[in-house]
Each structure stands twice: as C-alpha cells, then as structure tokens.
Amino acid sequence: MRDSSPIPSSEVTPEETFRNRRFFMKSAIWAGSTLATAGLYRAFSPQAEVRNTGAAIATVAESGVQTSLAADEKVNAFNDIAGYNNFYEFSTDKHAVAEKARHFVTDPWSVQVGGLVHKPRTFDLAELLKFESVERIYRFRCVEGWSMVIPWVGFPLSQLLKMVEPQSTATHVAFESYHDIKQMPDSVYAGIDLPYVEGLRLDEAMHPLTLLATGLYGKTLPNQNGAPARLVVPWKYGFKSIKSVVKITLMDREPPTTWSLANPGEYGFYSNVNPSVDHPRWSQAHERRIGEMGSRPTLMFNGYAEQVAHLYAGMDLKEYF
C-alpha cells in the first residue's frame, strides 16, 4: 500500500459480484481437480477392445495329436489374447502393446535358417504360409502366474527343421526376434538386452507339440502376438515362445537365452512349467486363468506331461529349471 487513504466506495466490489466470483472460482477448481484426477487414473487404466482384423488362414484337420484340454477349460476371448501381451520391444505395459505394435511392418519378412544344417536357406513370408496349417488349442502359461487357452494356427516346427536337414552334431536350436529401434522406439525401456534370443534342445524343437504359429483364431497373427511367425512351446513358460522370429540357428551347445542372461537366478534355460519349482519371488503352484475368478492349480508341464515328460527322464528339474 502506497497510501493509507480509505478506498472510495466505488472501488469496493459489490458483495454479490464477490460471491459470484468466489463461486465461479470454486467451481473451476472443483472441475479442474476432478478432471485431472480422473484423467490421471484413465491414463493408467486399460485400453479399449482389440479387434481381429487378420486375413483368414485355411487349416487342415489333423488326427492323432492330443492337446488334452479338460472339458472345463474355455478358450479365451480374442480380446484377452490380443489385448494383453508381453512384448517388451514395444512396451512393458501389457495393455499398451497392441496399440504400439499397430504399425509394425511384417511383410516383407524373412526367416534365416542356418548353422549346423546341410541345406541352409531363408524362408520368406509366402514360403512360411505355404506350410500346411493346423489349428491347435493350447494352454498358455506365463511365468508371471497368469494363463490362457489359445487357439493357435501354425505348423509343427519339425517340418521346417527337416527341410534344412540338421547335421548329426546339432544338439540345440537358437532363435532370434526382430529388433529395430526405429520401429520399436520404446524398446529402450525394456530393461533387457535386445534382440530377444531363445533356445531349445533339438529334441524339444522337433517335438510334435512345438509349433511355429502364423495365426490365431483362424486368422493371421496380430502384430502384438508376434507376427508374422512365432514359436509356441506349450509345456514351457510363455517367454520361451519367442515372437516375430527372424533367425533360427542349429548349434552343438546350449544357446544363450534373454531372460537367463538378464536374471540367471530367476529364469533358467529349460523353464518348464512346474508347480513344484517356484520362481524366487513368487509361487508357481497356482495360476490365474484370465477370465476366471480365483485361481487354479498349475499342472506339471502345463498339462502336457504325458507327451513330454520322457524328454526329461532322469533330470533333476529343480537343478535344470
């Protein structure tokens, strides 16, 4: 105050105006804060439904393959399968992957198959889609403790491996995912080394249950599920089923695998689904089936023990986890 002369009455705000202004300010603060709080919550809440826009894939009927699903296990909705993905190249937020992978270019594509083989070759997308496709309804168990039932479309990996004729010294198969920082800018937040690499023992790779999947729900794979072609190993934790494969290499030793490199104490090479071998930070005895309340007991080898247990005869699965 420069001078202490009384304020002339003409300068005094009439009470009504004052009240109105006060009311207006309060209303604005109410509206602003509510919008901000709700907006923040919304930013973190799950995204909208994902639609199945793939092209249809013709499948052939097969007999003699038991994927042994109990009658009480329902196939998960497309939106569950295609709207909730671990694909760290695009995002570590499982609900955000579908949107982030929307513009991922999967055509042209090539898968380079080499290493200890007699006939190394590169398969382009058309050649991959030429294999006779079958539909396989498998359980899918994530190491995080959730699971789904997924109707994959694809072909047994053994068909592709037989074409390149593995040499007698080959004991393992290494896989590598596509990685391109330009197409996957958020991969800098992944917290794991990329490109993603995985591996199987040759007998696991040749097992009739092991698929190279090119589709689900009768249509080509959505980008977020590992288009155009991904591995599916139903008796192992999901991270073994490497997405968007660009390289398959036959080797004579155990190949390095991404999660084992990132955290060797928590993720082993084998990573077979096993209710009696816990993850160091959580139990694996139960799982949450997406779409169900409560939890269900986890099955040995994810319910495929009958078909795969012989692969591990005499092995201590706690040691080879």
Residue 33 contacts other proteins per CB under 8 A: yes
CB of 42 to other proteins, least distance (A): 8
320 binding other proteins? (CB under 8 A) = no
Q: How far is the CB of 149 from other proteins (least distance, A)?
A: 13
Spell out the residues 6+ positions from residue 245 whose beta carbon is closer than 8 angstroms to its own. 111, 175, 176, 177, 178, 212, 226, 229, 230, 231
Neighbouring C-beta atoms of residue 7, cutoff 10 Å: 7
Contacts of 178 (CB under 8 A, 6+ apart): 89, 195, 244, 245, 246
Asked if residue 14 binds other proteins (CB under 8 A), the reply is no
Q: How far is the CB of 90 from other proteins (least distance, A)?
A: 12
Taking CB under 8 A as the criterion, the residue among 38, 56, 105, 126 binding other proteins is 38
Residue 274 annotated in ligand binding? no
31 binds other proteins (CB under 8 A): no
230-232 vs 211-216, strand pairing mode: antiparallel
Subset of 206-245 contacting other proteins (CB under 8 A): none
CA 175/CA 242 separation, integer angstroms: 7
Query: At which residue do the structure tokens 């009311």 appear?
Result: 23
| 110 Cα distance to chain centroid | 21
The count of chain residues that interact with other proteins, using the rule CB under 8 A, is 38
Contact between 192 and other proteins by CB under 8 A: the answer reads: yes
User: Hey, what amino acid is at 270?
Assistant: Y
**Annotation: binding site:** 85, 88-89, 142, 177, 225, 230, 241-243
- Which residues of this chain interact with other proteins, rule CB under 8 A? 22, 25-26, 29-30, 33-34, 37-38, 41-42, 44-46, 79-80, 83-84, 88, 92, 94-95, 144, 146, 189-192, 262-263, 280-282, 286, 288, 290, 294-295
